[in-house]
Amino acid sequence: MEDKQELIFKEHDTVFDQYKIIKEIARGGMNSYIYLAEDLKNKNHLTGNCFVAIKVINRTSEMTIDDWNRFYDECVTSIRVSGLPNVIETYRVKKSEDDQNIIVVMEYVNGESLRSVLNKQGQLTLNEALFLFKKLLVALKSLYSFNHKIIHRDLKPENILLSKDRTELKLIDFGIASVINQTKKGISTKLITNESQLFGTYPYLSPDLLKALSTDNEEEKLSVINEQCDFFSIGIILYEMLTGNKPFVASDYTKEEVIQLPLKYDLPDLHRINPKIPLWIENVIFRCIASKPEDIKYRYNNIDEIINEVNQMIASPDLASQQHLLKPYRNRVMQNASFNIDKEKSKSKFYNAPWFFFSMAWLTGLLVLTAIILVIIYHVI
């Protein structure tokens, strides 16, 4: 089946007889376009709330009709979560007449993504990172509070929007979310994508999702879709906010190998990378991304455990200062074996040794004396 014609809006086009397209502002995953539009029926010149974001998703030949319908259902689900704290509001969702496009009208956030901030700034201060992390936790708690619990599954800096003053955070893009139905008969999971494939952004995907590829048992596939998928992602995000880098280097690896890195290697020495980062924060990140069999026991059981620990440590500096690493550095296997902090310290001792300075001073004096002799010889000749 050939791909259908993409639905692409132009400046001044009108959508649903209500929204006038101003410009394209981004392109997203799953063959989507995002536009800034003016709401012609709900102008508010006092507050400036007359703009919306319109996302157009175009179906491709790889997407089956079942996957497409499930994806549409999830877009509709995003309307149900509108009004939740720190979650983007969705006003309207509609399919095109030929069933090849989905149009989503959403709240417009006048700011930039966390990814954009990190690209420009490199990293955030400790206070900034914790402030945004707490807001992200609140957003997730609200998503998990429904009987139809929503697992985002694609948390990354690109899907976190910040207001210009960075005091507001909005979680966006529920395009590959999963809904967990909690009923009296038990728990069932409704997926909007085929779990024989991996969807999401690889450095932020939990290794648990590999189990979905290694089994034909449908129950086992569905069992890995839970809050831990999101916990792993926010652990990577917090690390990235604090350091400007991801904990695992993904270059020279296949996508599947990238997901497996946390099974082979441990969290880098975060406190040694930046001594200002307290050990308790390193423990929070470790518990979020814990993937090795021996580390699973440290995982959080629910979102409230993360929120309570973060709030307790922030409120009790004395208690926070008494924390020890759950997994000491000596027990960790680092991805980059060529970089060893103890070796770096040894190098530092070598170059700071008194005899080294004496030798360098002697060598410098010899070079100066040689230069003087050469100048004298030049003038004599």
- Cα separation, 157 vs 175, whole angstroms: 15
Whether residue 190 is contained in a domain is answered as: yes
339 pLDDT exceeds 70? Answer: no
pLDDT at residue 140 tops 50: yes
Kindly report the length of the chain.
381
**Residue 31 vs residue 261, higher pLDDT:** 261
Which CATH number does the domain housing residue 130 bear? 1.10.510.10
Instruction: Give the model confidence (pLDDT) of 60-117 as tens digits.
Output: 888 889 888 878 887 887 787 778 899 999 999 999 989 999 999 999 998 999 999 9
Q: What is the pLDDT of residue 76?
A: 83
Is 234 a domain residue?
yes
Catalytic residue ranges:
154
- What's residue 75's pLDDT? 81
Q: Which residue has the higher pLDDT, 348 or 98?
A: 98
Residue with the bigger pLDDT between 104 and 149: it is 104
> Is the residue at 307 inside a domain?
yes
Q: Residue 35 pLDDT > 90, yes or no? A: yes
Q: What confidence score (pLDDT) does residue 187 get?
A: 42
CB–CB of 71/32 below 8 Å?
Answer: no
Per-residue model confidence (pLDDT) at position 137? 98
Tokens 């990190």 belong to residue: 118
Among 179, 152, 193, smallest CA distance to 62 is for 193
| pLDDT category of residue 42 using cuts at 50, 70 and 90 | confident
Q: Do 192 and 178 contact (CB within 8 A), yes or no?
A: yes
Instruction: Report the greatest alpha carbon distance in the chain.
Output: 103
The answer to whether residue 88 sits within a structural domain is: no
Q: Which of 137-141, 196-200, 247-251, 358-362 comes out lowest in average pLDDT?
A: 196-200
Q: From CA 240, how far away is CA 118, in angstroms rounded?
A: 8
How far apart (Å, rounded) are the C-alpha atoms in residues 107 and 86? 12
User: Residue 93 corresponds to which tokens in the numbers above?
Assistant: 């969702």
Show the domain range for 179.
Answer: 110-339
The answer as to whether 189 is a domain residue is yes
Which residues are paired to 20 by β-bridges?
Answer: 14, 38
Domain contains 34? no
Residue recorded with tokens 């230069």? 371
In a domain, 166, yes or no: yes
User: Averaged over 41-64, what is the pLDDT?
Assistant: 81
Label each residue of the chain as H, E or C: CCCCCCCCCCCCCEECCCEEEEEEEEEECCCEEEEEEEECCCCCCCCCCCEEEEEEEECCCCCCHHHHHHHHHHHHHHHHCCCCCCECCEEEEEECCCCCEEEEEEECCCEEEHHHHHHHHCCCCHHHHHHHHHHHHHHHHHHHCCCEEEECCCCCHHHEEEECCCCCEEECCCCCCEEEEEECCEEEEEECCCCCCCCCCHHHCCHHHHHHCCCCCHHHHHHCCCHHHHHHHHHHHHHHHHHCCCCCCCCCCCHHHHHHHHHHCCCCCHHHHCCCCCHHHHHHHHHHHCCCHHHHHHCCCCHHHHHHHHHHHHHCHHHHHCCCCCCCHHHCCCCCCCCCHHHHHHHHHHHHCHHHHHHHHHHHHHHHHHHHHHHHHHHHC
Tens-digit pLDDT profile for residues 156-178: 999 999 999 999 999 987 756 66
Distance CA 98, CA 115 (A): 35
Cα dist from 108 to 113, 335, 362, whole Å: 12, 40, 67
Mean pLDDT of the chain: 82
Question: Would you place residue 358 in the very low, low, confident or very high pLDDT band (cuts 50, 70, 90)?
Answer: low
Query: How many Å apart are CA 134 and CA 132, to the nearest integer?
Result: 5
Residue 263 has pLDDT above 70, yes or no: yes
The count of structural domains within the chain is 1
Say what the pLDDT of residue 62 is: 83
Assigned domain for 42 exists: no
